[in-house]
A and B are shown apart, each in its own frame.
Chain A
Amino acid sequence: MGMNVVVCVKQIPDPAAPQSFDASHNLDRSGKLILDEADTYGVEMALQLVDKAGGGEVTVVSMGSAADVAGLRTALAMGAAKAVIVSDDSIRGTDSLGTAKVLAAVIRRDLPDLILCATESSDGYTGTTPVQLAELLGLPSITFAKSVTVEGSTVKVDRQTESGYDEVTAPIPAVVTVTAGVVEPRYASFKGIMAAKSKPVEVLSVADLGLASDVGPSGARQQITEVVASESRAAGEKYVDEGDGAEKIVAFLESIKVL
């Protein structure tokens, strides 16, 4: 009795660094790429579920530049068994649906028991790829999971709602998106980091998957027409607290008639 889990992950530019567009209005990804922190929760959740099932393995699946796979190695160092990344020049400018088609084509080759994703990436924020993936695979999906357990052939999820949470069940295989903060992602051990160096990273091209027309700007069927500076807010008054900070805030709140 074991369980195989696929975690969809993304290597992104360091979110702490300034972001910019390149000439074709794609996010500049020329710098160092790291594993999106939002994905570490899914990787951790997957490792815990496989552990609990008493066997099986975690595979991370990604799309993007394979020139640098340090982000994937991070997931492997945490304990994932292998990684698959779809990478070639044609994917630049691919939208969320195109990405979902690519991920679906990879995952369909060997359908796992469960597919975990973050609720959204920290660079693009589109937040639709996991559900598009579920639809393409014909699978149920449960988004915004606060907790995930698998019992037999059913996945049970506490799903965040506006007013609290819902307990939701679905037969597996299913796609589940995991909110941040619900598990504590482990730090890779030295042993894990060393082991990750020899774990398999399979690099596929879009042509390998037969999806050439679904990727890139033409597959995206949307175009950026313009990028303009937004109306900016000016800084106002600023005081160094000398024991009177709270008093000053109260006075400000009075001046705007909140108090």
Chain B
Amino acid sequence: MSLSNIWVVVEPSNGTLTTTSLELLSHARNFGATVSAITWGDDATALSQEAGEFGATTLYDVGPLNGALPGVPVVSAIAALIASQGAPDAILIPTSYDGRDIAGRLSARLDRPVLTNVTGLSDEGGLVTEHPVFGGSQTVKARFTGEGPGIIVVRAKSFVVEPTEGLAATVVAAPAGDTGTAGSAKITTSHVEERTGPKLEEAAVVVSGGRGLGEAGKYALIEEAAKLLGGAAGASRAIVDAGWVPYSHQVGQTGKTVKPTVYIACGISGATQHMVGMKGSKNIVAINKDADAPIFQIADFGIVGDVHKVLPALIEALKARG
């Protein structure tokens, strides 16, 4: 059975589409199906150019959300589209804060299962998903059974972003209608935390800290080293759980996937939870006092030593280079 229609939820961010959204559009073109995109907010007309450039022929526009969290209105719009024109073969959704809300709501609304943490997608007489498990040491392949669209939530950095010659997508209004009590969660104020340097997922260099730092205050060393290398600061789950740094810094299964040119793991033992988020890095450097730490099994360059000595020395050396 060949695939005829794929819908991709594309997430707006400051007037453009997020990189993961573009990955999904790019990859969806491989299946010979008509690719349509669904977005929301005030900028659909502006986004239609980008959506078309990456392969969508139609851009369904939920429109302004007036402060509502996207989950319920976007799902109401998708449900209405399915009611009026039938379901696609699959709905692809980026892994993100709002993407997961949309996926969960959609699954319950359509009474269809959802597959998350997907890092590969191929057509083998129907879509087959790939999921890294056990720290990425094994890959599970799965497929949906039964009728209805498969809901597939894809992790960032799974596919290549590739533009095509496409014209702007045709914008079609897809209003949510009344979203009732379920849709009553509203954003009252947004806080943008000042960030210097690149985003964690986009940085060419990521310096990450773990429990080996010993105390929350030492995370400043990670930030300083990251800054000197023009990179971003990451963290293991252990120190996020301990409240040392916010969740947005977390690299791993429950956090972000990064694939920088070099990943420098400082005082991180290499729990499977962490490895799955960074083992795709081009180069891995590890500093850890335990010579048997699992992180050394995947590190291209390991220093067995005290992070409290090596890291400050590295910072000094980088400063000396100017």
- Assuming the contacts A222-B115, A230-B137, A235-B298, asked whether A130 and B104 have C-beta atoms less than 8 A apart, the reply is yes
A143-178 vs B, CB cutoff 8 Å, 1 = contact: the mask equals: 110100000000000011111111111110010000
Report yes or no: A222 in contact with B314, Cβ–Cβ below 8 A. no
Contacts of B297 in A (CB 8 A): 233, 235
| Complex partner residue of A129 from B104, B182, B271, CB under 8 angstroms | B104
Stretch of B2-10, B52-60, B165-173, B302-310 at the chain-chain interface: B302-310
Do the beta carbons of A222 and B303 come within 8 Å of each other?
no
Given A167-B187, A236-B301, A246-B314, verify A135-B109 contact (CB < 8 Å): yes
Distance from A246 Cβ to chain B, minimum over Cβ atoms (Å): 4
- Tell me the complex Cα distance, A238–B300, Å: 8
The answer to whether residues A236 and B183 also contact, given A132-B108, A144-B247 and a CB cut-off of 8 A, is no
Pick out which of these stretches binds chain B: A56-64, A117-125, A188-196: A117-125
By beta carbon, the residue of chain B nearest A121 is B254
Q: How far is the CA of A259 from the CA of B279 in the complex (A)?
A: 22
Q: How far is the CA of A249 from the CA of B227 in the complex (A)?
A: 16
How far is the CB of B194 from the nearest CB of chain A, in Å?
Answer: 9
Q: Is B158 an interface residue (CB 8 A)?
A: no
Q: Is the CB of A128 within 8 A of B182?
A: no
A229 to B285: give the CA distance in the assembly, Å.
Answer: 24
Residues in A whose Cβ lies below 8 Å from that of B13: 162
Q: In the docked arrangement, what's the CA distance between A237 and B279, Å?
A: 16
A positions within 8 Å CB-CB of B: 15, 19-20, 25, 37-38, 95-97, 100, 119-120, 122, 125-136, 138-144, 146, 159-171, 174, 179-182, 184, 220-230, 232-233, 235-241, 243, 245-250, 252-253, 256, 258-259
What are 20 A-to-B residue pairs whose CB atoms are below 8 Å? Answer: A120-B254, A125-B116, A128-B153, A131-B105, A138-B182, A164-B190, A167-B188, A174-B185, A182-B243, A221-B146, A222-B143, A228-B138, A229-B138, A230-B136, A235-B302, A239-B304, A240-B303, A246-B311, A248-B301, A256-B262
